[in-house]
Amino acid sequence: MQIIYLPATIRTLVFDIDLTLYDSRPYYDNQHELLITRLAEHLNVTVAEAETAVTQIRTDYAQQHGGRSLSLGNAFVQLGVPIAINAQWRAALFQPEAYLLRDEKLIATMKRLSNKYLIAAVTNNATIIGVRTLNALGVADYFAPVIGLDISDVSKPDIRPFQMVCTAHGIALSEAVSIGDRMAVDIELPLQHGMGGILVESLADIYRLPAILL
């Protein structure tokens, strides 16, 4: 875990979901495979060709932006798939319940954090998939709002979904902390707008948050 910056006053914790609140790599990889297959159908190319096209776009972006990663949603935009369509595909294809189980330690963690902070989620997934993921883990009741691609119409890194959370909570960006597993996607831009940032490397880091923030 890297605590990049914590504001003097914290009112809201904004969590990423995928590979932040669960550690099921098979589920995460399955999402990628399903989307690439759907993209191939959309472009009328082979799955291998679709994968190569996405990889090239992300490689070019990294070379042009100091090694920063490009989200899959933003790569799809460059291939002619709008964020709204991407979200529709995700909502139709993904099955978090097939991979994720109720996490009692995560539930206890969020219960403790919610005694002091408002908790929200910003995800580069469809909102319904984010909610279903949180439900599968047993923590959905602690998160409001959940902002997905179909609500913000952007894919992180973008400040818009974080602004939407802070507006919903009636707070300033400088009173919120972004918590996620990717520096370039989840942390850098919020920091530039005055938010706090905590970079996590594993689910174990999430379990440690009450000891750090309470």
pLDDT tens digits for 74-131? 999 999 999 999 999 999 999 999 999 999 999 999 999 999 999 999 999 999 999 9
Q: Is 60 in the same domain as 105?
A: no
Q: Is 91 in the same domain as 118?
A: no
pLDDT at position 177 is 98
Q: Is 145 in the same domain as 113?
A: yes
Q: Is 68 in the same domain as 32?
A: yes
**Number of structural domains in the chain:** 2
Q: Render the burial of 122-142: b for 16+ CB within 10 Å, e for the rest.
A: bbbbbbbbbbbbbbbbbbbeb
Divide the 214 residues of the chain into consecutive groups of 10 and give the mean pLDDT of each group: 98 98 97 98 98 97 90 96 98 98 98 98 98 98 98 97 98 98 95 98 97 96
Nearest to 61 by CA among 79, 39, 83, 35: 79
pLDDT at position 56 is 97
pLDDT at position 69 is 84
CATH number, domain at 114? 3.40.50.1000
Residue 187 domain boundaries: 2-23+100-213
Q: What is the pTM of this model?
A: 0.96
Q: Render the burial of 31-54: b for 16+ CB within 10 Å, e for the rest.
A: beebbbebbbeeeeeeeeebbebb
